[in-house]
Amino acid sequence: MLIDSHVNLHAPQFSEDRDAVINRARDAGVGMMVTICDQLANFDAVREIASAHDDIWCTVGVHPHEARHYQDINVAHLTDLAGRPKVVGIGEAGLDYHYDLSPRDIQRQVLRVQIDAARMTGLPLVLHTREADDDTAQILEDAYGEGAFPLLMHCYTSGEELAKRAAALGAWFSVSGIATFKQADGVRAVIRDMPADRIIVETDCPYLAPVPMRGRRNEPAFLPHVLAALAQIRGWSVSEAEARTEDAFFSLFSMIPRP
């Protein structure tokens, strides 16, 4: 089964043809998707999409870009939302020092709350990190000292050192269309060293369309291009890559029944 572990189906780019996008994904062999929450104001819309489809699940959380709007976020409220049907992860949480759309101290504060929610619920933390390797590693390691929690390094494009430190904590990693980009040799080098049993795939649609679709709106139907890139990078056959990523997905998202 092909599984797209990170889609943004509530995004306005899909407002006019969302059902067609979902159907094209199924036609392309994508048997399951996880649609991601970027802020609590959008949670109802995200969960409504998941609730309408047996093969779509969702998360609840706050992206670092939106952290400035959620300085009062608390673990009790987040865990309550996480207990709703079809919710299988916390996030998209994290740190983004590239755009700095939220103050860095607020990003760190909101991330720590979401880590606590992941630990309390046992749901995977879906982590975004960009140009924040040192702070990300330190926060994760400090948090693990207080108790383990499932961790997914989403769309991993950061450095080798953070990858090693996250892997030592037992993290999973997701590979996106960036792995197909001509200038992404550094990303491919890190992918070669990721733990073989903890790699999954994603599109992060509507963003990051893989080659040969680059420049277009990304869709989950383009996931086979990501899987093929992963297979080539790791020296696996496409069928082996599909089987490995499926096993890794259900190992991480253990709340989702495996068909």
User: What is the tens place of the pLDDT at every residue in 246-255?
Assistant: 999 999 999 9
Mean pLDDT (whole number) for 200-223: 98
Q: Mind listing the pLDDT tens digit for each residue in 185-208?
A: 999 999 999 999 999 999 999 999
Mean pLDDT (whole number) for 16-30: 98
194 lies in some domain? yes
Mean pLDDT (whole number) for 223-229: 98
* Buried-state track 10-23, b at ≥16 Cβ within 10 A, e below 16: bbebbeeeeeebbe
Residue 191's pLDDT is 98
259 lies in some domain? no
Residue 50's pLDDT is 98
Q: Which domain holds residue 104?
A: 2-252
Mean pLDDT of the chain: 98
The C-alpha atoms of residue 259 and residue 31 are separated, in whole angstroms, by: 10
258 lies in some domain? no
Residues 65, 111 contacting (CB under 8 angstroms): no
Please report which confidence band the pLDDT of residue 226 belongs to, taking 50, 70 and 90 as the band edges: very high
Closest CA to 217 of 229, 227, 205: 205
Cross-strand pairs, 128: 94
Residue 71's pLDDT is 97
Mean pLDDT (whole number) for 209-236: 98
Residue 82's pLDDT is 98
Tally of domains in the chain: 1
- The CATH number assigned to the domain holding 188 equals 3.20.20.140
214 lies in some domain? yes
DSSP H helices, 52-169, are 75-82, 104-121, 133-146, 160-168
Backbone torsions φ then ψ of 74, nearest 5 degrees: -135, 155
Closest CA to 56 of 64, 47, 65: 47
246 lies in some domain? yes
E-strand stretches of the chain: 2-7, 30-35, 56-60, 87-96, 125-130, 151-153, 172-175, 199-201
Closest CA to 174 of 2, 58, 4, 25: 4
Q: Mind listing the pLDDT tens digit for each residue in 88-105?
A: 999 999 999 999 999 999
Mean pLDDT (whole number) for 141-147: 98
The C-alpha atoms of residue 112 and residue 90 are separated, in whole angstroms, by: 12
Please report which confidence band the pLDDT of residue 218 belongs to, taking 50, 70 and 90 as the band edges: very high
Please report which confidence band the pLDDT of residue 141 belongs to, taking 50, 70 and 90 as the band edges: very high
Residue 119's pLDDT is 98
Share of the chain above pLDDT 70, in %: 100
Please report which confidence band the pLDDT of residue 76 belongs to, taking 50, 70 and 90 as the band edges: very high
Closest CA to 61 of 129, 142, 115: 115
121 lies in some domain? yes
CA atoms within 13 A on the CB side of 116: 13
Please report which confidence band the pLDDT of residue 128 belongs to, taking 50, 70 and 90 as the band edges: very high
242 SS3 class: helix
